[in-house]
Amino acid sequence: MHRIQPVILPLVLALSAALLAGPAFSRIPPVHLVTFQGPITPVAAEFLTRSLADAEDAGAGLLIIRLDTPGGLDTSMRDIIKAQFGAQIPVVVYVAPSGSRAASAGAFITLAAHVAAMAPGTNIGSASPVQMGGAGMDSTMTRKVFNDAEAYIASIAADRGRNVEAASRFVSDALNLTADEAREQGVIDIVAHDLPALLDSLQGRTVIVDGDEVALETTGAEVIEKEMSARQKILKALANPNFAYILMMLGIYGLFFELSNPGSLVPGILGAICLLLALFAFQALPVDYTGIALIILGGVMLLLEIKVPSFGLLSIGGVTALVFGSLMLFDSPEAWARLSLSVLIPTVMVFAGFCLLCVWQVIRSQRRPVTTGLGALVGETGRLVQGIESADDMGKGVFHGEIWYATAPVPLPPETQVRVVAVEGRIVRVVPVIPDHPSPEQQRR
């Protein structure tokens, strides 16, 4: 027993040292990585700010935001930047992979990071503000908006120790730089081909976080990639203008079917859900409410065409309102916030075609001969069982197995084959079935 103990003790110590040296006991905190691709909307702001808060709560050493964006909404951008400046851990914005960009709002977010990095083949800039929502700006308002954006990006660059002049030109001149140009001009800090190269470049770099100098430790750090929740992915998809437009049109369809067939429930429920989802999406998009009003007006006019005989004027007006309303719905110079013509044209054509089909069916049904009630006797043939002696006299005829009083413009003997031309109360007016008196169908021909 005493001989075994000297052997066991070194083994235990060696095992303990190995465990302490392992990743589970490593003093290097993990690196959190999130990837966002798309316009900066309220969903993007929620995802990125929540990811930063989660990284801080989990004790991460830093958060890397892999970014690819064409720009977005000013309010959402400012929410993200506020979170970056209030972060308790370093934030690295990495514009990647190659072919990505940090345009407009993305340039602001990149400059606000503690460390700004880009992959080769990416670009940054074009941060001039644009007015969305269909309202134009006069010269005074334009100057105010540009001055505000220019001062904001300059203050961000100054706080992070970056080139203030180049940052200001992102707004004033819509300057756009490649990754190498941005590094040469002091707009970003690192150009890295991939994530391992970025981690190597970050090792030992010092940044100021909440007033304290922090040295980054990334060599051997565990990289934990976080993704959007299912809810956030759904909300991000809803913020697509094409999808939001289709949802709105489906909502109008659903309500139309419900109003046409009260009590069917399913179209009404689905239509109401689609409309509510579309309204949610409109909150994250530059919507022109004149366009919404025109689309609703166009739908109402097409529906009224079914009830009101307008000889096609309501249909023409409805289709015109739909087209112009759809074109005006998302009024923005930014490509990400515009409605695609490949979605607009088929949607309007299907909606208008369906309504015109309904109108055609109604007109067709109105032109059909009456098949029920007293009017159904008009055009039917029968025979007289009691002759008609004069124009002022009445006889009796059999039609559909029923005996009716009958009058005629000329005398007719019994057993004459006759055709009904009118019904007046309980009396039918008849004419003989002879070539001199063609049927209404023959007359129409």
Report which of 57, 53, 156, 151 is spatially closest to residue 107, judged by C-alpha positions.
156
| Structure tokens that stand for 84 in this block | 């970056």
Using CA atoms, how far apart are residues 305 and 357, in angstroms rounded to an integer?
11
Q: Is residue 189 located within the same domain as residue 313?
A: no
Q: Is residue 69 located within the same domain as residue 174?
A: yes
| Structure tokens that stand for 169 in this block | 């030109």
Angle at 118 between CA 33 and CA 120, to 5 degrees: 125
Q: Is residue 411 located within the same domain as residue 361?
A: no
Q: Which of 367, 398, 418 is the last residue of a domain?
A: 367
Q: Is residue 92 located within the same domain as residue 34?
A: yes
Domain around 106: 24-228
Q: Is 10 inside a domain boundary?
A: no
Q: Is residue 185 located within the same domain as residue 214?
A: yes
Report the CATH number at residue 217. Answer: 3.90.226.10
Domain count, the chain: 3
Q: Is 17 inside a domain boundary?
A: no
Q: Which of 228, 252, 275 is the last residue of a domain?
A: 228
Q: Which of 347, 367, 387 is the last residue of a domain?
A: 367
DSSP element (H, E) containing 95: strand 91-95
Q: Is residue 57 located within the same domain as residue 152?
A: yes
Q: Is 261 inside a domain boundary?
A: yes
Q: Is residue 215 located within the same domain as residue 281?
A: no
Report the CATH number at residue 420. Answer: 2.40.50.140
Q: Is residue 256 located within the same domain as residue 204?
A: no
Other CB atoms within a 10 A radius of the CB of residue 121 amount to 14
pTM: 0.67
| Contact between 85 and 56 (Cβ < 8 Å) | no
Q: Is 6 inside a domain boundary?
A: no
Report which of 307, 293, 252 is spatially closest to residue 274, judged by C-alpha positions.
252
| Contact between 303 and 355 (Cβ < 8 Å) | yes
Q: Is residue 30 located within the same domain as residue 169?
A: yes
| Dihedral of alpha carbons 306, 307, 313, 319, sign | negative
Q: Is 90 inside a domain boundary?
A: yes
| Dihedral of alpha carbons 234, 94, 156, 172, sign | negative
| Structure tokens that stand for 428 in this block | 């039918």
One pLDDT digit (tens) per residue for the chain, 445 residues: 445 455 565 555 555 555 444 444 447 899 999 999 988 988 899 999 999 999 999 999 999 999 999 988 888 999 999 999 999 999 999 999 999 999 999 999 999 999 999 999 999 999 888 655 444 556 777 788 889 999 999 999 999 999 999 999 999 999 999 999 999 999 999 999 999 999 999 999 999 998 899 999 999 899 999 999 888 888 888 878 888 888 888 887 787 777 767 777 888 889 889 888 888 877 767 777 888 888 888 878 877 766 776 766 777 787 788 888 888 887 665 666 667 777 778 877 887 777 677 667 766 766 666 555 666 778 888 889 898 888 888 899 998 788 889 999 888 999 889 998 888 878 889 999 865 445 444 444 4
Is cis: bond before 97, omega within 30 of 0? yes
Q: Is 387 inside a domain boundary?
A: yes
Q: Is residue 342 located within the same domain as residue 414?
A: no
Q: Is residue 408 located within the same domain as residue 264?
A: no
Using CA atoms, how far apart are residues 289 and 62, in angstroms rounded to an integer?
43
Using alpha carbons, list the distances in angstroms from residue 96 to 10, 35, 93, 122, 336.
Answer: 49, 9, 9, 7, 19
| Contact between 170 and 107 (Cβ < 8 Å) | yes
| Structure tokens that stand for 195 in this block | 């994530």
Q: Is 42 inside a domain boundary?
A: yes
Detail the DSSP E strand segments found in 372-437: 381-386, 395-399, 402-407, 417-424, 427-432
| Structure tokens that stand for 104 in this block | 């407009």
Q: Is 15 inside a domain boundary?
A: no
Q: Is residue 171 located within the same domain as residue 267?
A: no
